[in-house]
Structure 1
């Protein structure tokens, strides 16, 4: 019971941050599971199972508050699905930790850029179509292989390209449900086909997954309202600051200081 309550609190806080800023549920939840000794592949599979429920609730909230750019959604989702399936396959095959330095450098630069950009006039221009496919592929791949990365990669990339915060965050959150579904199905296929030899042990973490689901679903309805009503400059500064903190934490991990 104590484990369930703990992960319900973690799920609530992670989803509140993710829904409002377009990122961090996977990173926060996965980091917590890893801290409890859960193997990386099991942590990613567990978090994506929980996200099936939280992303559906969060996406519905953004839909209700009209925060979704549907043209961007349909350009982004297919590439995110492809990247997510590939990432899940890779994670059940090899150690994905070699990508951490690259991701950390990317997040640090983009986070700092968003904070600086918040002090300038925020453009409301459409995101250039050419950057959407690589962002979707990379975000989906890192989300599955790293246990989190869809929001940090895709949200920051679209905002850095000049996207309007409200619609970028709403669209990325809505698309995340399809990416999460595809990643979860890939993990399941790897387990059923025997490709993921130790995948059966993931059932040991059902209490944690249930807690993440309950906490996340309770927090999700707040997301659409917050994004719709928060000032765009404040949103950019919050997103940028969060990214820098995530990158800083990952840097400390790489250096063996935590």
Structure 2
């Protein structure tokens, strides 16, 4: 028969005895999944070799017992559920035959043909739990759906569940009356046509704003700077260096969501561009590249609109204030960069730590002060010629946010931050190095759609590791540079 023939059930593991065979990385993954969902489950684990991380995890749960020895058939006598996390085919066949004989349900890692049941990807929001199954066909698809649901379902949904339970307990009447009353209440959870239309109009408003903002910036270029017109007729060789640099920096930034501002500003200063003009060149180039990258992430479903609304207004206010300050006091950035670099260095270490401990249970919640983060990130980004990605994206990921959705949201908000910073710089400064501006604009725009697609194919762990390494390297470079200047 075609289609998924599995019947989903939720098992009370705290009333059963579960046996896990295998103490390697897969055994750690399975034990973590069991304890994440059923911390009180009685679990016995048997393996010749047991990872230190697994021992540390088991030590936190008195209901988990470890036996470092070879598996024996007698281990199944007290078991009511068995999970084999080994790559030994003969041992798997032995466990399967013995489990069948004892009528014990068994699961075998990466061996769907041997399994009586599968361990699906789990989405958990308090008392709400959703299990995802692909019938053993694609665990990757199940994990991606888990990420999407985890980010899309609000944490406050558990409060709604508790309130519904209280309402249910207070309802009177027969079964039909109770169902009608509950249907009336829960209808508020379903998005009606009006709400759907408002959401659609909001997204259209975003992209109309993008087009109008680009038009405004181009108009300001043409009327404010006669040199810009002359530049179009006589290309300076420096343009080609900035064209190449803009492409390379945008490829890195588009794939992991950061480092474009820092690398582009450093490159501009090395090429003799003054600090304020360098920051303006970077932000002008980011308008088009981030507009394209933001659109690509939107089309791929990588934008969290709730997070977008929390970041956008504070980020713009911080960016305008920072651009105004830098235009007035160009030397100010040399004092803020070391402090920001120390902050991002710490965040890089936190991200790397989280990337390599992804299999362990964690109780740490998501970062809450999103608006303050946006205000600070926008200000430092404008003052230091970059940092929106390093500060905001690093903080979101380190605080427990989904890396892929954080990346997409940071990229689309970056468009508005860059637009407002650029308009402020253009108003405050009397001149600009158009060869640097045009090179960065065109180079970064060419790289933006390619980098956005690359980021969508990279695993969550890879994104976290790459972000951590880039943040640490860039931060260390900035700190050492500041120290050398002092001496």
Q: Shared topology, TM-score over 0.5? A: yes
The normalised TM-score by structure 2 is: 0.49
* Equivalent runs, 1:122-201 vs 2, <5 Å: 128=366, 130-190=368-428, 199-201=429-431
For residues 193-237 of structure 1, give each alpha carbon's deviation from its aligned partner in whole angstroms, at most 9, with x where no partner exists.
Answer: xxxxxx2232xx111211111111111012322222111111100
Structure 2: distance between partners of 1:41 and 1:51: 15
Per mean C-alpha deviation after superposition, the further-off stretch among 92-101 and 27-36 is: 92-101
The secondary structure found in structure 2 opposite 1:200 is coil
* Equivalent runs, 1:82-121 vs 2, <5 Å: 82-94=317-329, 95-121=332-358
1:240 matched residue in structure 2: 468
Which structure has the larger Rg over C-alpha atoms?
Answer: 2
Classify 1:2/1:240 alpha carbon distance in 2 versus 1 (closer, same or farther; 3 Å): same
Classify 1:174/1:243 alpha carbon distance in 2 versus 1 (closer, same or farther; 3 Å): same
Per mean C-alpha deviation after superposition, the further-off stretch among 238-247 and 34-43 is: 34-43
The secondary structure found in structure 1 opposite 2:475 is helix
Query: Which structure has more RCO (C-alpha within 8 Å, separation ≥ 6)?
Result: 1
Classify 1:189/1:169 alpha carbon distance in 2 versus 1 (closer, same or farther; 3 Å): same
Structure 2: distance between partners of 1:162 and 1:230: 18
The question of 1:17 aligning with 2:17 is answered: no
For residues 143-193 of structure 1, give each alpha carbon's deviation from its aligned partner in whole angstroms, at most 9, with x where no partner exists.
Answer: 100100100000000001101110000100000001111111212232xxx
Structure 1: distance between partners of 2:468 and 2:368: 23
1:193 matched residue in structure 2: none
The secondary structure found in structure 1 opposite 2:343 is helix
Counterpart among 447, 455, 465 of residue 219 in structure 1: 447
Counterpart among 437, 455, 459 of residue 209 in structure 1: 437
Per mean C-alpha deviation after superposition, the further-off stretch among 218-227 and 240-249 is: 218-227
The secondary structure found in structure 2 opposite 1:23 is coil
Following superposition, the deviation at residue 82 of structure 1 comes to: 0.6
Structure 2: distance between partners of 1:35 and 1:126: 42
Say if 1:62 and 1:223, in contact at 8 Å, map to a contact too. Answer: no
Structure 2: distance between partners of 1:55 and 1:127: 29
Classify 1:256/1:220 alpha carbon distance in 2 versus 1 (closer, same or farther; 3 Å): same
Structure 2: distance between partners of 1:63 and 1:12: 21
Structure 2: distance between partners of 1:242 and 1:168: 17
Classify 1:133/1:183 alpha carbon distance in 2 versus 1 (closer, same or farther; 3 Å): same
Structure 2: distance between partners of 1:126 and 1:60: 32
The secondary structure found in structure 1 opposite 2:288 is helix
For residues 74-95 of structure 1, give each alpha carbon's deviation from its aligned partner in whole angstroms, at most 9, with x where no partner exists.
Answer: 1111110010011011111222
Classify 1:247/1:230 alpha carbon distance in 2 versus 1 (closer, same or farther; 3 Å): same
The secondary structure found in structure 1 opposite 2:368 is helix
Say if 2:284 and 2:437, in contact at 8 Å, map to a contact too. Answer: yes
Classify 1:129/1:113 alpha carbon distance in 2 versus 1 (closer, same or farther; 3 Å): closer
For residues 76-135 of structure 1, give each alpha carbon's deviation from its aligned partner in whole angstroms, at most 9, with x where no partner exists.
Answer: 111100100110111112222211221111011100111111011279999747320111
The secondary structure found in structure 2 opposite 1:118 is helix
Structure number with the higher strand fraction is: 2
State the number of aligned residues: 248
Structure 2: distance between partners of 1:24 and 1:240: 11
The question of 1:46 aligning with 2:276 is answered: no
Where in structure 2 are there 5+ consecutive unaligned residues? 1-235
